Structure 1
Amino acid sequence: MSRYTAGHNVIYFCCSLLSFVPSCNALNDDSCEKPPRSGTETYGRYVDLRDVVFVIQSQRNSYHTQRAERRRKEILAQAQTVNQSSPDVVLLHKLSDYDGNWSILPALPRLASQYCQTSLWIMFLQEETIVNLHNLLQVLSRFSPRKEWFLGRSLHDDEPTIIHHYAFSEDPYSFAYPDFMAGWAISCPLAKRTAERVNYEPPKSDFTIDLQHEIALYIWEEGRGPTLTAVNEFCSELHGSSSAKRCATAVNTYLSACGKPVLKEGVFVAVKTCQKFHRDRVPIVKQTWEKDAASLEYYSDVIDSFIPTVHLGVTNTERGHCEKTFAILRRFASGAVTQAPWLLIVDDDTLISLPRLRRLLSCYDPTEAVSVGERYGYGLSRDGYSYITGGGGMVFSRVAVQNILAGGCSCRSSDAPDDMVLGMCLTTLGLPVTHSPLFHQARPDDYVKELLARQSPISFHKHWNIKPVAVYQRWLSEPDQRPHSLTDTREEL
């Protein structure tokens, strides 16, 4: 795996000094203040598009690359309509060969050195984020570019949550973090200082779980850095709605569908279970989402003909389940059980909507090596790897499974964490790990409700301290679905 080094940054910087002609913006010279456009209220210098570099948080998958490229072209076309020079628009996955750039901090040194010599702001967008350039420039003109600014739409936790490592447990609402879908921005002074800090002070946690929160924590620097400044014009409303007219940013769509859903028969479902949970978790699966599967098998440590289960000849482990997962991959790849182009691997305490999954999969090409789910990261500040977290459900195209097995990937132990081992394997093979925010490793209570409300979630995980059937009915069931009796399900077993 290749990745830029600090040495490359030095070379770039030295070379750029030889040819760099300083502009007013780069010098931050008050004598260079430009008058605002007629009717524009400003509180600082006027900002034009040359002062902003747009970074689209793109992914290395053909579907996501096309979406990001569409956003890039829209920004450039809009720049022409406001009669300004074309801004720099960067697709994050193309910034370097390092696949961990999606976690932002590894990418900051290159972004700061390459663009903050001539720009004042770095504006981050997701593939769904639509920008109104005129409104955005008005917003940025309110803030002095000589200061450290962290701008975005504020999100807050109502209660401590595991996905944020129970941060601010006494008052979780006191800490604000940005809604990435609404876009967020940092001034170049903050970008430069944070980029320097990344080199000697990586994030305290090796895990990247919820990037929005973790970026805000790192920038805040335990009170030494800036907190998020809420910008009302950074919006999560749908583009084209009446409420979005005042906005600098809006959302293109909340849905992920690209035509007819994948057929039921196109998804083979593998449920990992064990004897301990045959009478506890398996009945919940049968009562809720099993009926939406055309082809499904339960993999356990014992044969239970009433469920029924399949024993793969693998010893059961308390955690990790790496050998079991690789046995599932081999069984799927053999073609003896199914010829389906897609494999879904879930835990027995995963709640999932298969109809929504099939709608999502219509966006992806099964002839590519696709691995999709909720993406986490491990050690990304030091050449780590990304992985699909298992509890939310791991989806692989048949091509991806074949590549994983052909690549010689294996478990260092039977109880190694299967999702992380697969992530290391995909990274080694140069295959992308694709993120969808519709998959969830935790329970609905662990996420901000306003984010869930604009989704059609695909999955949640864990039965702890919830009523799983009620959670499924509220968040995952289709309108025409009705629950069956749990008592009836137990009798079937």
Structure 2
Amino acid sequence: MNAIRYYSCAVLALCFQLSCSLAPHELTFLIISQNFSFSAKLANELKNNILHQLRIEAFLNNNEIDLVQQPKIILSHETFNSIGSWAITPILASSIEYIDNIILSSRNLNAAATEATASARKANALPVNVTATAPPPEASQTKWLILCEDQSIVDLKALINNLQNEDYTKKKFLGYGLRDAEATIIHHFAFFENPSWFLYPLFRAGVAISIPLLKILAERVRSEKNVSDFFIDASHELSLFAWNKGKGHQLTEAPYFCLDRKSSKTSRSSTLVRQGNDGEGNGCAIYSRSHDDSITQSHLYSPDTATGTTKSSFTPVDVTINQIFFAIKTWSKNHEDRVPVIQRTWAKEVKHIRYYSDVADPNIPTISTNIENTEHGHCAKTLVILQRVWEEIIANKQLKPIKYVVLSDDDTLFGVSTLLGYLKRFNANADVYLGERYGYQLLSRNGFNYITGGGGIVFSLSVIEKLVQNCRCPSSSSPDDMIIALCLQRIGIEPIHSSRFHQARPIDYPEEVLLYNKPISFHKFWQIDPYYVYEHWLRQSDTNVVEANKYKVGHGNEYYCSKNQNELCHRNIYDGNN
């Protein structure tokens, strides 16, 4: 009897082990990417690297792998026609047949696999240990949807080893948890009294959604009509939707989704812990690339996991400060309080800057638009500004080097050196329309994306010319940033998103995200010291200002302000009144 019990327990244990095992083809990766060259290259390199890891693992174990045994890897910019694919819920709003085909279905039929194998071998692109033999259909169903970004790094072995310990039959929502320190406008002031309890994922660190939960979310998106018109932060909005006012499922922190390669977050607290790779594939499974803009840094290269070498994927294009024209929107009421902040801080780092206002003020000086200020929208004023900018660039020979125009508000702060470094990845001769992307009515046929104006909008000259020629305002108070987007959409120009531009203040974002994603801009002077924001987050990259003002801590008689000192202290520093 004891022997029977022993063998029965052994069989049950084996069955449990087999049921908990996870194969690569049971994962579907959705890489959130954009249709411009730098993002597309990074996304394709990530896809190829994941597949390369699988081939290396098979080679080391002397195994053959089938095409149908590979994970399905979807690049959002290639697969989805929806302009709202970055927001995730518009993808889920697709028909159930579409979801089944793209995400949930078996990898490939035998015929398709055979055809793909033949084509790949003909192109010498398929290793000899990859075959086209299909596994049983029931073995190739997706168990997990993995969300990540083009800037993510994936350790496939670590991901599988960690996820096989999770129950994929349950409704699971796993990731690296972020929290709001205080209620913020970008999250519609959610949980105003205590926002810090609510978790939402950092997409770049990876998200795992079990298929039972995914199906429920997809059904709800298609049946419910109360989804917000505005899409701002996809990760927070997805978490709110999954939470479903307490009736759904909240994000669970998983320590194998990491901020960087060695930092993990425990599920019991928000403190970071160091987590090394143990050699068994149990360390950080997905983490973020470095934010360093140096062209020699690894985030611009494709790592080869077999040899440890790198190959260049990107040819930088140098951008100088002489090639950027800054156009600042202001009005007479702000001439004495907002404009001086800009002049004392980042404006010292630029060569071509103009201030456009409702009146001409020689003390700044400002250029009059002859447009009365409106309380909202500013569409007419903004289009006049772009017209004046274009005319001056064409007429003024000293502006011949200009490649980009940056349009911003009079309460926007920039890290100029960081902006210059970031622009190296773009082709200034192409249509560049860049900044922080928002979405409007993305679940409808009339939805669109736009670059929100507060964080600054970067245009290449070709886009400025097309706007001047093709864009008109429905009314003077129409929202300028949204009308610009609609005008450009009509002529086939879509916005390029960068999370380094910020529509709000630093306190409106999790600090750890800002630390790992070097900011280019912040917006709003409300309830903050703008001088401290510039010094702490932006000015450190502007070496000329650092040298000129000697803003250092504790060296001899050099004067400095602490975080707790008031704005007057910082203003005196920038005026040289120390």
TM-score by length of 1: 0.87
What SS does the aligned partner of 2:354 have? strand
Shift of 1:472: 0.7
Residue of structure 2 in register with 1:159 after alignment: 182
Q: Kindly provide the CA deviation profile for residues 338-384 of structure 1, in whole angstroms up to 9, marking residues without a partner as x.
A: 34110100100101111111111011111211111111111111131
- Cα deviation for residue 113 of structure 1 reads 4.3
| Alignment size in residue pairs | 454
Cα-to-partner distance string for 1:108-145 (whole Å, 9 max, x where unaligned): 23445422132111101111111111110112112222
Structure 2 gap ranges (5+) = 1-11, 59-64, 106-140, 265-273, 278-282, 296-315, 550-569
Helix, strand or coil at the partner of 1:237: coil
Matched, 1:250 2:307: no
Q: Using the alignment, how far apart are the partners of 1:477 and 1:146 within structure 2? A: 50
Name the residue aligned to 1:68.
43
Deviation of the 1:152 alpha carbon: 0.4
The answer to which structure, 1 or 2, has the higher relative contact order (CA under 8 A, 6+ apart) is: 1
Evaluate the alpha carbon distance shift between residue 244 and residue 103 of structure 1 in structure 2; reply closer, same or farther with a 3 A threshold: farther
* Residue 30 of structure 2 corresponds to residue 55 of structure 1: yes
Q: Which amino acid aligns with 1:92?
A: S
Shift of 1:101: 1.0
Where does structure 1 lack aligned partners over 5 or more consecutive residues?
A: 1-29, 37-43
Q: Look up the equivalent residue of 1:251 and give its one-letter code.
A: S
Once residues 575 and 290 of structure 2 are traced to their aligned partners in structure 1, the CA distance between those partners, rounded to angstroms, is 41
In 1, Cα distance between the equivalents of 2:24 and 2:217? 23
SS in 2 for 1:234: coil
One-letter amino acid matched to 2:347: E
User: How far has the Cα of 1:290 moved from its partner?
Assistant: 0.5
Contact 1:283/1:486, CA 8 A, preserved across alignment:
no
Matches within 5 A, 1:11-410: 35=17, 45-83=20-58, 84=65, 85-108=69-92, 109=94, 110-117=98-105, 118-202=141-225, 204-238=227-261, 243-245=275-277, 246-256=283-293, 258=295, 259=316, 261-334=318-391, 335-337=394-396, 338-339=399-400, 340-383=402-445, 384-406=447-469, 408-410=470-472
Distance 1:299 1:490, change over 3 A: farther
Distance in 1 of aligned mates of 2:14 and 2:387: 65
Say whether the 8 Å CA contact 1:322–1:416 is kept in structure 2. Answer: yes
How far apart, in 2, do the equivalents of 1:440 and 1:303 lie? Answer: 29
Matched, 1:470 2:532: yes
Q: Contact (CA 8 Å) 2:317, 2:426: kept in 1 or not?
A: no
Change (3 A) 1:57 1:111: farther
Q: Distance in 2 between matches of 1:197 and 1:404?
A: 39
Is the 8 Å Cα contact of residues 154 and 230 (structure 1) preserved in structure 2? yes
CA shift, 1:328, in A, is 2.3
- CA distance, structure 2, for counterparts of residue 60 and residue 326 of structure 1: 27
Percent identity over the alignment is 38
> How far does residue 70 in structure 1 lie from its aligned partner after superposition?
1.0
1:455 equivalent in alignment to 2:526: no
CA offset digits 1:180-208 (Å, max 9, x no partner): 11010111111122112111214532111
What is aligned with 2:499? 437
Between the aligned partners of 2:262 and 2:317, the Cα distance in structure 1 is: 24
3-state DSSP of counterpart to 1:380: coil
SS of the equivalent of 1:477 reads helix
TM-score, with length taken from structure 2: 0.74
SS at match of 2:216: helix
TM-fit CA distance, 1:254: 1.7
C-alpha distance after superposition, 1:225-249 (max 9, x if no partner) = 1111111011111479984521111
Q: Structure 1's 164 and 240: CA in aligned 2 closer, same or farther, altered over 3 A? A: closer
Are the aligned partners of 1:237 and 1:243 in contact in 2 as well (CA < 8 Å)?
no
What is the letter of the counterpart of residue 80 of structure 1?
R
